[in-house]
Amino acid sequence: MNDSVQTAVVGVTGYAGAELARLLLHHPRLQNKPPIFAGRVDATDAARGGIPLAEIHPELADSKGSGGLRQLPFSWELLTDLGAEVLFLATPHEQSREWVPEALKRGMRVIDLSGAWRLVEAENRAVYAFEDDGTELAASTQAQAVYGMPELHRKQIAGAKLIANPGCYATSVILPLRPLVAAGLVDLEYGIVVDAKSGVSGAGKAPTAKTHYMYAADNLSAYGAFTHRHTGELLEQIGLSTEQIFFTPHLLPIPRGILSTIYVRFREPQTRASIAQVYHRFFAHSPMVRIYDKALPQIQYSVRSNYSDIGFQLASDGRRAVIVSCLDNLLKGASGQAVQNLNVMLGWGESEGLE
């Protein structure tokens, strides 16, 4: 167990990067070792010693001097000279494909928030069209990657050099479904339907025609049916085939949060107590999952927290259930889960700095 560690963050300028910076700056184990922030810095900003963090994210300035930290011009020499031990990458998928092998070569442990290393099967990775897929370096790097969902892979994460942080939608679907499928309760031939809705921040900070206010406000739109990048994560982590699940994401006109409504049919009639027991046993040692035994969760209960909330309603025949799963896409769906993975990796309390 490490008492502390030197972290580094590349990609602090985005929404997930801002949340990651906030969590690391206030983590009780890292009070004497603020993160190294590195990224793209032009010549003018480089001449003044980097970009002040308070200029990038004014909300991160506090009485402890956090606002005085700077984003420095990225270089491997910088990270090495400053003693970076754990590197967080909140970077585009293609950038992470390039940089992760180099970070590992330099002895850093990596927590990658992109989709670069989440998928084991080539047919699932095809949606990203990685140019290096199939190369020896990519294969050897992928072999080191652990899917960063502590509730499923806690032991592997503890010894991992590379953690592939899960997708936000994927987290909201895998956590409520994996216990039921693993217990053999779900009628997979009947199929599973997932109706998932996310706030606009899930699309990233760069504005697009479909994420600006005039499009998203007073609107609700479906997208990515049968083609969403997170589908492969569902198949691999739950243990499903493409024919066994319908997953359709939607854009909600709110800043953040995900609500996934999941429809399942059971092989045999169940009781509310039997389903609740499956969940409570599966997540008995998972402090970031909350099971709602009587009510259904809502986005407002989990937003701005690292909790994954799961609730369900069982039909009178005991064969059909509606499961509702809620989380914050920027926290449990991204940066909060990354810090949760850091805690597990280093042998700290899994929820340290997150509650």
Residue 316 lies in a domain: yes
**Do 153 and 178 lie in a common domain?**
no
**Do 153 and 272 lie in a common domain?**
no
At 335 the pLDDT is 98
Answer yes or no: 168 catalytic.
yes
Q: Please measure the distance between the N-terminal and C-terminal CA atoms of the chain and give it in whole angstroms.
A: 21
Q: Which two tokens stand for residue 80?
A: 């090495």
Residue 1 lies in a domain: no
**Do 122 and 177 lie in a common domain?**
no
**Do 224 and 110 lie in a common domain?**
no
**Do 231 and 190 lie in a common domain?**
yes
Helix (H, G, I), strand (E, B) or coil at 74: coil
Whether 313 and 332 have beta carbons less than 8 Å apart is answered as no
Residue 201 lies in a domain: yes
Whole-number Å distance between alpha carbons of 313 and 79:
50
CATH of the domain at 76: 3.40.50.720
Whole-number Å distance between alpha carbons of 344 and 224:
33
**Do 145 and 180 lie in a common domain?**
no
**Do 341 and 306 lie in a common domain?**
no
- Determine which helix (DSSP H) or strand (DSSP E) holds 309, and give its type and residue range: strand 308-314
Domain, as residue range, for 37: 7-165+334-345
At 208 the pLDDT is 87
Q: What is the mean pLDDT of each run of 10 residues along the chain (355 residues)?
A: 89 96 96 94 91 92 79 96 98 97 98 98 96 96 98 97 98 98 98 97 86 90 93 98 97 96 98 98 98 96 98 98 98 98 98 96
Whole-number Å distance between alpha carbons of 345 and 158:
4
Determine whether 224 is exposed, middle or buried from the number of CB atoms within 10 Å of its CB (0-12, 13-18, 19+). middle
Whether 89 and 314 have beta carbons less than 8 Å apart is answered as no
**Do 14 and 148 lie in a common domain?**
yes
**Do 99 and 207 lie in a common domain?**
no
Whole-number Å distance between alpha carbons of 194 and 203:
19
Whole-number Å distance between alpha carbons of 61 and 152:
36
**Do 174 and 151 lie in a common domain?**
no
CATH of the domain at 302: 3.30.360.10
Q: At what angle do helices 150-158 and 168-182 cross, to 10 degrees?
A: 100
**Do 195 and 314 lie in a common domain?**
yes
Whether 306 and 354 have beta carbons less than 8 Å apart is answered as yes
At 339 the pLDDT is 98
Residue 350 lies in a domain: no
> What total of structural domains would you count in the chain?
2
Catalytic residue among 21, 110, 111, 168: 168
Residue 191 lies in a domain: yes
At 1 the pLDDT is 61
pTM as predicted: 0.96
Residue 243 lies in a domain: yes
**Do 20 and 157 lie in a common domain?**
yes
At 63 the pLDDT is 65
